[in-house]
Structure 1
Amino acid sequence: MPHDQYNGPDLPSDPFETRLSSALHDTGGLFDTDRAALVAAGAARGRRLKLRRRAAVLGGAATVVAAVLGGALVLPGGGSGAGAEQAGSGQAGAVGARPKASPTASPAPAGVTKQQMISTLEKLLPKGRLSEQQGRGTDEEPSYAPMASLVFDDGKGPAAVTVALGRVQPGSEEARQTVLCPDKVYIPHDDCRTTRLADGSVVMVFQGYEYPDRRVDTKHWLAELVTPTGQHVSVMEWNAAQEKDAPISRPEPPLDPAGLTRLVSAQEWRALVDDIPIDPNQQTGGPTRAPEQPGAPVRSTLQTLLPKGLNVVNRSSNEAGFGYLVVDDGKGASLVQVNVQTGMSKDAGALFGSGSETLPDGTRVAVHQGPGEKGGEGVVMWTVDTLRTDGRRVVISAFNSGTQHDAATRETPALTIAQMRAIALSPQWWK
């Protein structure tokens, strides 16, 4: 049933940050923070966390959507997926190009009912058989995003379709990141495009899979719309009658990218967003930007610190906080990623246990070797985690594959633990 998608998500195996865990619990998920996994994965705030949150949604964890659209989570992405560069160069930035000031005095929104959500979705879909309608309104669950889901069959097989509504802060990092395409290194997909509509709204259409490792070939397509005033509409569809545990019923979901764009951008949804009661605890005011991570740009710094003999075959954008390179020494591709953080002294006890090392200058070092995070066949992940006495942290992880979700391309990562340790302890990160 479509409503099952809000119970029991299939999240990425390495959890991050208490805030993400709490939000998932609030939506009825069973996700919890595991400190050991957090350490092994080199968990980080900033860019890496953004990628994880985007992975949770684009990887098929629909449970996250209610929290995201309700404002409990930033729903970011970014990277080098199809259309990502275009979005980053102007289209997605237009989300906050013409933000309107919040009204100082206006009637309280009327609220949105379950039946309004269901009937609007039914009206906006093409002709076909509709069944198993489910919904939620703010009259029943005021703290959750209004949503509707059903099974739609246009004669080519049943398919689950879901829509959820919410708001984002106009011009904020959340607004920009919501409509950026993900990086294929982390979230495999067939296509992703971000476009700007005539009214300044931005739509991202993602065509991927329910399971990033493709253990079941269920397709998961998603459209995200953010308007210049912060209205947020999310539409998801599958080529099966439910998100998980249902046979594939058709080659593709029923709505192609143009159809998804028409559905997500329908004016009826925007009117309903305006009727959602305003949470007084959510941020108000003008556009905001997330603070930049301190330190040197990660990708270029990592590249200067690599040992000789490694050919770079893929790379992330060059920014502070997080970056990656895919390298090949002639024995196969190997993903190397780095997180750079400050203010992490408070987490030292959880991150560095009895097996860690303390250097003469007080720097803590921990080494972890184990299976990869995403279930790629034969993939291993090596991590060196370092923490200076002033709270500056550098975490480097290397894989024996060019991605986390593809099968191993080599026996071990292209970097040795000693080489990773030297990179993580380099002073170049702070110049």
Structure 2
Amino acid sequence: MPVADHDHDHDHEPDPFEERFADALRNTGTAFGADGTDRQDLAARGEAHGRRMRSRRRVAVAGTAAAVALVGLGGALLLPGGQGGGGRQQTAAASPPSPSLSPSAPTAPQAPMSADDIVRTLEKLLPEGGISSEGGHVTDHGSYAGAVYDDGRGKAAITVSLDRVQPGSREARQITQCPDKLFVAYDACTTTKLSDGSVLMLLKGYEYPNSRSGTKRWTAELVTPAGGHVGVQEWNAAAEKGSPVTRKQPPLDLGQLTALVTAHEWRTAADAMPLDKRSPAGPDTTPATPRGSISATLTALVPDGLKIVSKSPPDDDQFGYLVLDDGRGRSLVQVNVQPGMQDVEDQLFGSDAKVLPDGTKVALRKQSGDKGISGIVWWSVDTIRPDGLRVVISAFNSGAQNTPATREEPVLTMEQMEAIATDRTWLTLG
């Protein structure tokens, strides 16, 4: 479960390119103790996006968070079809086959496409219908824009984001990885490598990870060989949050969604964008199994006698989880390990934080989980060492943070969680 944002009703405000992974961790971390709703939703977005879904404010996991699998939340494919009336491109509604795309050649960096240009292009590429309520946001490294689209069967929000990531980087890979169902409720997700080397993810998901509102969010994420990143999202409502469902499904089927995200207009614009200076300088050379897997370390530190039902894969060096069972019900335990957090230490740890002899600060919290989940509670221990290494452990009284409680309390006591979070083994992972 992530650190709560200050105002979750505004977490859709576009800031898609300024908040890369490390920044997102810090930004959400500053709100760790904030009292807000939809914390599970933020967790889902952190896990599923952070690595992807830049079309909205990406909430990475900063405290007791779901994995930031750099994430909310990343198919079968289809090329755009013939031209329809009004200059709009028509797309087939059948199950989408893999498209044959021309490779995108990197060009000299160009200014990001304007929000107005995105909306005009979106209007041209969408099937026949009306466009209204346009809006967007542009930074030095990318563009975001959205509109309300109405094909006569109900208004629906559609957004497009464009930026560029380092080719071959971990971020480039993780943008198109399907999320872990332990954290994100979705109906289907597929990742496909296209003929030109681009990778496409298609996700049929929900605005909330437990799908409680009925608002569906379908996502397409494309990363080209040059690092161009195109993200498209659509909803079955006129807004992603705070708006009633207007139709049973989002307006574009998977074939149409694929046609839209793979359109050459977006690919050309994304490939020509400058790389964010904060992106890695070259391809990711991290081994498949990092020096110290978080889940493996957590496994070694939990008390004996607990059955490990499932665990996170050993390919993330900042997040890991275990689902434990002591015979009285399953309990999800998560750990985030974040180096270099000195700059937000004062925001994360107040005067009431416990200070250990070695200078480590410790904050303990017990609170309710997602308001939409029956009986779920969230316990967390947040720690930071003098060198800025932050280790946050959280536990729930359920085997997943978006399912009802399976027991009265988490499987670990606060004392056990503090012992795990302050163990010196974490120092060996950096």
TM-score, normalization by structure 2: 0.71
Change (3 A) 1:354 1:123: closer
Change (3 A) 1:191 1:17: closer
The equivalent residue for 2:416 is 419
1:300 to 292, 296, 302: 296
The equivalent residue for 2:235 is 238
After superposition, give the CA deviation of every residue in 1:67-123 in whole Å (9 maximum; x if it has no partner).
Answer: 99xxxxxx96369x999xxxxxxxxxxxxxx997x66xx5x7486455643343233
* DSSP 3-state at the match of 2:375: coil
- 1:76–1:180 Cα contact (<8 Å) kept: no
- 2:143–2:163 Cα contact (<8 Å) kept: yes
Deviation at 1:236, TM superposition (A): 0.9
Distance 2:350 2:380 in 1: 15
The equivalent residue for 1:122 is 123
Change (3 A) 1:340 1:61: closer
The equivalent residue for 1:269 is 266
- 1:159–1:237 Cα contact (<8 Å) kept: yes
The equivalent residue for 2:69 is 77
2:213 paired with 1:216 = yes
Distance 1:353 1:114 in 2: 41
1:188 to 180, 185, 188: 185
Change (3 A) 1:351 1:137: closer
2:6 paired with 1:9 = no
Deviation at 1:311, TM superposition (A): 2.0
The equivalent residue for 1:26 is none
1:52 to 46, 53, 75: 46
Deviation at 1:261, TM superposition (A): 1.6
- 1:77–1:181 Cα contact (<8 Å) kept: no
Distance 1:203 1:272 in 2: 17
Deviation at 1:173, TM superposition (A): 2.6
Amino acid at match of 1:416: T
1:77-116 paired onto structure 2 within 5 Å: 77=69, 109=110, 112=113, 116=117
After superposition, give the CA deviation of every residue in 1:246-274 in whole Å (9 maximum; x if it has no partner).
Answer: 33222211222233222211223223435
Superposed CA RMSD in Å reads 4.4
The equivalent residue for 2:255 is 258
State the percentage of identical aligned residues: 44
- 1:51–1:78 Cα contact (<8 Å) kept: no
Change (3 A) 1:78 1:181: farther
Runs of at least 5 residues in structure 1 that lack an aligned partner in the other structure:
1-6, 24-30, 39-47, 69-74, 84-97
Amino acid at match of 1:181: C
The equivalent residue for 1:317 is 313
2:166 paired with 1:169 = yes
Distance 1:280 1:423 in 2: 36
After superposition, give the CA deviation of every residue in 1:288-344 in whole Å (9 maximum; x if it has no partner).
Answer: 568999973221122222223322222111243221011122322211011234444
Amino acid at match of 1:77: A
Change (3 A) 1:36 1:175: same
Distance 1:114 1:363 in 2: 46
* DSSP 3-state at the match of 1:236: strand
* DSSP 3-state at the match of 1:64: coil
Amino acid at match of 1:197: L
- 1:333–1:401 Cα contact (<8 Å) kept: yes
